[in-house]
């Protein structure tokens, strides 16, 4: 689920690379925001189920610890993912 969501987010960015910052912002709100919600739901569901020392646990904890930074790019069209 996580890799599919991340791939989809980068795919959305590829689709929006040649549009204005305003259009990119709108596209992110329409397309990326729901995908980020899916990724966050997966993260919140998965985090308590994995040990923090496992590779998946480390990845999920990294994602959780950096979530606000990840979300920030959808706030403006000029910010990179």
**pLDDT (tens digit, 9 = 90+) per residue, 11-46?**
999 999 999 999 999 999 999 999 999 999 999 999
pTM equals 0.90
Domain ranges of the chain: 2-75
Give the CA dihedral 24, 3, 69, 63, nearest 10 degrees. Answer: 170
Give residue 15's Cα distance to chain centre. 16
Query: What percentage of the chain has pLDDT greater than the value 90?
Result: 99
pLDDT of amino acid 63? 97
């Amino acid at each position: 689920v996580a890799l599919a969501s991340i791939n989809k987010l980068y795919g959305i960015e590829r689709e929006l690379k040649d549009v204005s910052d305003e259009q990119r912002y709108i596209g992110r709100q329409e397309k990326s925001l729901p995908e980020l919600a899916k990724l966050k739901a997966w993260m919140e569901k998965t985090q308590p189920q994995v040990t923090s020392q496992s590779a998946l646990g480390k990845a999920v904890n990294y994602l959780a610890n950096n979530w606000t930074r990840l979300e920030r790019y959808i706030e403006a069209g000029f910010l990179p993912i």
